[in-house]
Amino acid sequence: MKTFYEVFSKHCRVMVPSENGFEPRQSIRKRFWLTLLERAAHRTNLHAGISPRTESWIGTGAGISGLGYNYVIQKQEFRVELYIDRGKGCKTENQEIFGIFDARRLEVETAFDVTLAWERLDTKRASRIAYRLSNGGYRSPEETWPEIQDAMIDAMILLEKALAPHIDGLKKKT
């Protein structure tokens, strides 16, 4: 039997407080992504050419099909990640690619200068390598967004720099 939420959630819009009363979280996230992409454009071209969306993540390819650099925003936290998902029927391949990166964990984390979350996600098709921070999200006051966005951009630049040599190595193998 389905729960009340499962039956009715698709018919409801979640509203969150904003300066103008209550606003759907999707429009808040789109505004967050718009300003993040504008700020990022001055520092990196990694996400150039993508448009803001309403989902909780935006991403771009990492140069190999099925590997993507994603920004993910939640209510009060964010992460940047390399998401590994080569598609339906590729769970084993995704785990093998994750294993290649995991074997270089020390190198990657030394280049990034922090401990990352290495998530093989055995119960799912995909895997991820992520950096998480819980010091703000899309529900944070908008005047704090630039600080949050700068932290996200800094982390994405570092993540891409730490993983790029290993992605280049994978390109040579494929």
Q: pLDDT tens string for the chain (174 positions)?
A: 555 445 444 444 444 455 555 468 899 999 999 999 999 999 999 999 899 999 999 999 999 999 999 999 999 999 999 999 999 999 999 999 999 999 999 999 999 999 999 999 999 999 999 999 998 999 999 999 999 999 999 999 999 999 999 999 888 776
Q: Which tokens is 131 given?
A: 């950096």
- Residue 6 in any domain: the answer is no
Number of domains in the chain: 1
How are strands ordered across the β-sheet holding 57-61?
Answer: 57-61, 67-73, 78-84, 127-133, 117-119
- Residue 89 in any domain: the answer is yes
- Residue 24 in any domain: the answer is no
Q: Domain range holding 127?
A: 56-173
Q: Residue 88 carries which side chain, given as an amino acid letter? A: K
Indicate the pTM of the whole model.
Answer: 0.84
Return all residues near 74 (Cβ < 8 A) that are at least 6 apart: 56, 137, 138
- Residue 30 in any domain: the answer is no
CA distance 4 to 9: 8
